[in-house]
Amino acid sequence: MRYDKDKNWVEMVLRNADVMNTLNGGMSQAKVSIRKEEDHFLITTTAPGVNPDLFKVEVVGQNILLYHMVQFNSSNNGLAIPRVLTSIPISMEMDYEKITAQVENGLLKVIVPFNEPFNGYHKPIDIKRA
């Protein structure tokens, strides 16, 4: 029983230290995982000290961007700039039009389905003869 209390205490201290580091000007690295499933890629992301409700996912050009906005307040106006957590190149096997994302238990999950050609699309091509 003592071990469980010590383990919980250590985890709490580490989480708080990470948040304090971020608040005091340091930056915590986002944790990004990309896993290939049977019919899609699963991208999971956490960013210590960042409210998961602030995550944003966009397709920009040939990349999937995962980011959140960092708010800077000044006496005149508020300034927000994006902090990119990761940028993932879109490959031919990804169907970028069917990407979905959700936040579950503080974890951002992005599902990138494979496109039709990657799933075994096959088409014979007729050769014209002169």
Section 31-43 average pLDDT: 93
Nearest to 50 by CA among 69, 65, 73, 25: 69
Phi-psi region of 52 (alpha: psi -120 to 50; beta: other; left: phi over 0): alpha
Whole-number Å distance between alpha carbons of 118 and 95: 9
Whole-number Å distance between alpha carbons of 56 and 101: 9
Give the architecture (CATH level 2) of 30-114.
Sandwich (2.60)
For residue 3, what pLDDT band results from cuts at 50, 70 and 90?
Answer: very low
State pLDDT tens for residues 86-113. Answer: 889 988 889 989 999 999 988 999 999 9
pLDDT at 1 over 50: no
State pLDDT tens for residues 52-63. Answer: 888 999 998 889
Task: Enumerate the domain spans of the chain.
Answer: 30-114
3-state secondary structure of 21: helix
Section 6-34 average pLDDT: 63
Query: Who contacts 48 (Cβ-Cβ below 8 Å, separation ≥6)?
Result: 15, 18, 19, 22, 28, 30
Nearest to 87 by CA among 21, 30, 10, 19: 30
Q: Which residue type, as a one-letter code, is found at position 11?
A: E
Q: What is the pLDDT of residue 85?
A: 85
Q: What is the pLDDT of residue 81?
A: 79
